[in-house]
Structure 1
């Protein structure tokens, strides 16, 4: 895995400042500790940090075609590079290396912007074509690899693998993107294509940018791929016969590496499935696996991971996150570059740290919940949709709206009597209800948290607009597939894949995600919803296919998730640090929040009256971000 960076002067040929580009590239050296490389020409600078995985001796970047007029800097893996090399060689292209990077420049020569349609893998890359005076930026279909960009005054384009690469430029303006704050306290992250900064953007998954120096104009992202639900549904027989063989093939092509390779093994369904298939594919050697355990058994899955490791005779290693492991809080703020509120970033960081001691590449099970409907919230959404269908919208608003407002928030009570959130969701439309379901803080809480200044800047903006924008493009009327699509467009790239990329790259570890192979995603999107959720069981078809390969209690136990005991931390060892962060000058001076309401959240949590751990963690991480980046 690698890091890329670059500067393009769109309207002139002024020499790029090598000191600035070197600084931008050096700040992401953790992504590629093995080598760096630069290329300069009139009005252009390209930079690269390399983590050597394939063709270790060759494929140094920036890499050029045989005539030296097309260059690429690339982060990721093209898994079908061998087939592409054969095809492009037959068309007359001459290769000088044995890796996957060179296929990109020749594919560009052969197919232009359509080259992305030929790549199977995870990638973010930049191609410079000197003859055409064009810069082509592209990101993989699901957003596994990140790519940021910004346009400075004077039409100077910056790009990089992390946001800190962009902000390292001395001319970058760190003005806040205020709707991003609304998104953050709703979702726990800022959704693509935006960042916390008004002047920096994420390239959307499945999109590209084509910039032409001869015709400089407004930068626009172009979509080249999307999940399509219009294809005929698969039959039960097709699902049963093809689900695992297709996944096994996706795993198989991800076992190519010239460095030690292993897998994450949490003891959950998805990671266990990947390890089982890896063990079947490499029977001549044991799979290297690693997991993280907790001293708090409510959060610990290590016994289940050990069970799978024993079944498949893996070289298994377990690390421990103890109940006081909050030393990463400050580091995480610098790692993610913008507010990011998923507390499972802590164990993710630790498991990547453990894995890197033994391997350079690790396979993960990310994507299984989105693809096969594994989240409990999907089942809730279907139930709520049935009730919405039975009652007119006006009646639902008048009946459930007041109930949602007056019903107490019984965080301490058994789940079946905690009806407040259900009432609130039923009063809304399907999209607004689902947005509430996934929210860290609901609209009423955000309204109390935000200051008059921030509300004025937001001018009525609501994070629900993110879902509305994506729902308008979802080619389905299926209630389950719609929310799966929303998660694949928002939660998956904004939270899950961001978490894994930054945590793994902090340790120079490459993570591969076979479940998110785009061909597999295209196939799995045709599975009927009734086969994904059966008798209140999510991932039904997936689990049934895995029954010959994994124990029953691995497949059908209650889902735990990769969580940390934040609520207890905030009432115990992290109490004082939390209070200091909430009362910090950085948070107060920002003018963005109602400080009295923040203290109310803190006091209610300390008393045990309410569990505000998610909201408080979000505020803690925002405070650390603001102090580090805006101070």
Structure 2
């Protein structure tokens, strides 16, 4: 696990620029650094030592030094790939997983990425071909950003903040990003909140030919999810799930340093913990009413004979840490669970360098309640579809009213209503509070339409899962997992988000996943083979955060009010409308907690990068 930076173009101060860029991401790799400076190409690297502690420093080169790579992540099948490449005559000089990339590029070319099993973002420069090749893993576990400068050069990095140190970077706010953010609570576009900075999408590689008249990037998708149910025996599917999960956990435990586990007490993290059986687990909760489930984590740890470390977080700690959290996120991210995850990673890093966690199970095994239909919706769907579609079309044209979402959801087309697991500000509400210059971004449905187009004609459940796998998972869940763990120099691994696990799970029949009684039903049955029954059937809690209650306390209301009434807030928002939303919540007249938090988070982020930051 590390952080990488890179750029093209000739600079008089290569080493100084690289050093400053690397210093911005030193938290990703505090153990060592490395650099490559070539003719018009420069790579930098910060290392967190996990495998081959003595010999794994980067950059890594091939035999004659003509191919060089910097790499962030872990390749779990590197030993198999190494054996294949050695049979073909390639000579290895280290024991690190990174070295398979340079020899794999020589052997497989652009087909390298699809041969890898793991989480990865990397850059390879081939001097002889004068080309840069880079790729990002199947699910988007590891981030990779790029930016084309006004001078025609490219910047690359694990984190956007490293670009701030490059003389050709122009820091400008992307006006199109704010409108969809208010609905999704995260940055949902390929172009980030920094104008011209793009995310390389998951399961994509790029090639960048250098030299006169070249310098154009080509991106290619090398893999895709395929939810296509295959009929089969229920018990056989249970056995297959249990086998693939255990095998994935074994692959993900490879390390030369201590490995622990995050444990919330829910089925996902509990299953991973019971498969891994680490020495230590880590849990956090809040010192507020019912927002503390650490007792469940402690109980399971005790049953398994594992030492559990836990921490209760206060509201003061959360508000104090929020600017730092948003700095590490690079873009505004208002999922409240970012806050406990930040503190959980800090706690774990006091004891271990690597943790396994349960992200991804809800997306691949259909665990979210939104995937199921309520009893009322099932009754409503007995009405002829043409009448339901007509009612939904009428509801779309009307201002928001109680029952608005229900009517649209029951029309039968996820494309018309399902945007993933977060819906904070309805689009019409967002437009009302935004200033005209910031209404230019796409609506939520315009963001989701190209993704739905790839699964046209598929069943409803497949469409919903596919959308979440391609929008919510990389844009929210995995991005905060990476950034919050790396803020504490902690490597976080996610065994459910493994290509082998996914390719087994996507075949599971719908009725085995959702059966009217529970979501991810068959997954729970598989987990029962390792866990006590009550754990496998526990209701999902995630990381509940008491923001609704905090924002009704004067101390925290005043903090938010200070941001809402600031001069820079009026650049983006009708601040009178914002204060109405805040005051209604404070007075208990409405539950606007998530809306308030989403705007507040954006303003905290903006202040950190555009007001406090002088670069």
TM beyond 0.5: yes
**Residue 573 of structure 2 aligns with which residue?**
593
**Residue 607 of structure 1 aligns with which residue?**
587
Report if the CA contact (8 A) 2:229-2:508 is conserved. Answer: no
SS in 2 for 1:298: coil
Deviations 1:269-306 (A, max 9, x none): 10000011112xxxxxx531111122224221112111
Please report how far the alpha carbon of residue 221 of structure 1 lies from its aligned counterpart in structure 2 after TM superposition: 2.0
Q: How many Å separate the matches in 2 of 1:533 and 1:427?
A: 20
Matched, 1:396 2:391: yes
Q: How many Å separate the matches in 2 of 1:522 and 1:302?
A: 33
Report if the CA contact (8 A) 2:366-2:520 is conserved. Answer: yes
Deviates more, 1:95-104 or 1:320-329: 320-329
**Residue 628 of structure 1 aligns with which residue?**
608
TM-score when normalising by structure 2: 0.94
**Residue 205 of structure 2 aligns with which residue?**
208
Q: How many Å separate the matches in 1 of 2:255 and 2:61?
A: 23
Report if the CA contact (8 A) 2:208-2:218 is conserved. Answer: no
**Residue 89 of structure 2 aligns with which residue?**
92
SS in 2 for 1:100: coil
Report if the CA contact (8 A) 1:3-1:50 is conserved. Answer: yes
**Residue 123 of structure 2 aligns with which residue?**
126
Residue 112 to residue 597, structure 1, CA distance change in 2 (3 Å): same
Report if the CA contact (8 A) 1:193-1:203 is conserved. Answer: yes
Report if the CA contact (8 A) 2:55-2:96 is conserved. Answer: yes
Q: How many Å separate the matches in 2 of 1:505 and 1:223?
A: 27
Matched, 1:329 2:322: yes
Matched, 1:3 2:11: no
Q: 1:47 aligns with which of 37, 44, 60?
A: 44
Q: How many Å separate the matches in 1 of 2:210 and 2:458?
A: 42
**Residue 431 of structure 2 aligns with which residue?**
447
Please report how far the alpha carbon of residue 353 of structure 1 lies from its aligned counterpart in structure 2 after TM superposition: 0.6
Please report how far the alpha carbon of residue 471 of structure 1 lies from its aligned counterpart in structure 2 after TM superposition: 1.0
**Residue 146 of structure 2 aligns with which residue?**
149
Please report how far the alpha carbon of residue 251 of structure 1 lies from its aligned counterpart in structure 2 after TM superposition: 0.2
Matches within 5 A, 1:158-557: 158-214=155-211, 216-230=214-228, 232-279=230-277, 287-326=279-318, 327-380=320-373, 387=380, 390-392=384-386, 395-397=390-392, 400=395, 405-407=400-402, 419=403, 421-423=405-407, 425-426=409-410, 429-435=413-419, 438-455=422-439, 457-458=440-441, 461-474=442-455, 477-557=458-538
Deviates more, 1:24-33 or 1:577-586: 577-586
Deviates more, 1:216-225 or 1:536-545: 216-225
Q: How many Å separate the matches in 2 of 1:66 and 1:88?
A: 13
Residue 204 to residue 381, structure 1, CA distance change in 2 (3 Å): farther
Report if the CA contact (8 A) 1:405-1:424 is conserved. Answer: no
Residue 531 to residue 391, structure 1, CA distance change in 2 (3 Å): same
Deviations 1:63-88 (A, max 9, x none): 10111000000000011111111110
Report if the CA contact (8 A) 1:233-1:528 is conserved. Answer: yes
Residue 394 to residue 278, structure 1, CA distance change in 2 (3 Å): closer
RMSD: 2.1
Deviations 1:544-572 (A, max 9, x none): 12223223332223322212100111111
SS in 1 for 2:551: helix
Report if the CA contact (8 A) 2:230-2:509 is conserved. Answer: no
Q: How many Å separate the matches in 1 of 2:437 and 2:87?
A: 62
Please report how far the alpha carbon of residue 209 of structure 1 lies from its aligned counterpart in structure 2 after TM superposition: 1.0
Deviations 1:47-101 (A, max 9, x none): 0000000001002111101110000000000111111111100100000001101
SS in 2 for 1:146: coil
Residue 267 to residue 423, structure 1, CA distance change in 2 (3 Å): same
Deviations 1:229-278 (A, max 9, x none): 34745442431221111110000011111111110011011000001111
Residue 390 to residue 301, structure 1, CA distance change in 2 (3 Å): farther
Q: How many Å separate the matches in 2 of 1:486 and 1:55?
A: 38
Deviations 1:569-623 (A, max 9, x none): 11114111011111112212x2x21112101101110111111111111111111
SS in 1 for 2:308: strand
Report if the CA contact (8 A) 2:399-2:428 is conserved. Answer: no
Aligned length, in residue pairs = 606
Please report how far the alpha carbon of residue 517 of structure 1 lies from its aligned counterpart in structure 2 after TM superposition: 0.6
Q: How many Å separate the matches in 2 of 1:220 and 1:382?
A: 48
SS in 2 for 1:624: helix
Residue 173 to residue 264, structure 1, CA distance change in 2 (3 Å): same
Matched, 1:574 2:556: yes
Residue 406 to residue 321, structure 1, CA distance change in 2 (3 Å): same
Q: How many Å separate the matches in 1 of 2:438 and 2:562?
A: 23
Please report how far the alpha carbon of residue 345 of structure 1 lies from its aligned counterpart in structure 2 after TM superposition: 0.8
SS in 2 for 1:271: helix
Residue 436 to residue 117, structure 1, CA distance change in 2 (3 Å): closer
5+ residue gaps, structure 1, are 280-285, 408-418
SS in 1 for 2:492: strand
Q: 1:583 aligns with which of 565, 572, 590?
A: 565
Q: How many Å separate the matches in 1 of 2:248 and 2:456?
A: 25
**Residue 18 of structure 1 aligns with which residue?**
15
Q: How many Å separate the matches in 2 of 1:315 and 1:627?
A: 40
Q: How many Å separate the matches in 2 of 1:134 and 1:84?
A: 23
Deviations 1:526-546 (A, max 9, x none): 111111111230110011122
Q: How many Å separate the matches in 1 of 2:373 and 2:365?
A: 15
SS in 2 for 1:349: helix
Please report how far the alpha carbon of residue 7 of structure 1 lies from its aligned counterpart in structure 2 after TM superposition: 0.7
SS in 2 for 1:166: helix
Report if the CA contact (8 A) 1:16-1:43 is conserved. Answer: no
Q: How many Å separate the matches in 2 of 1:436 and 1:131?
A: 45
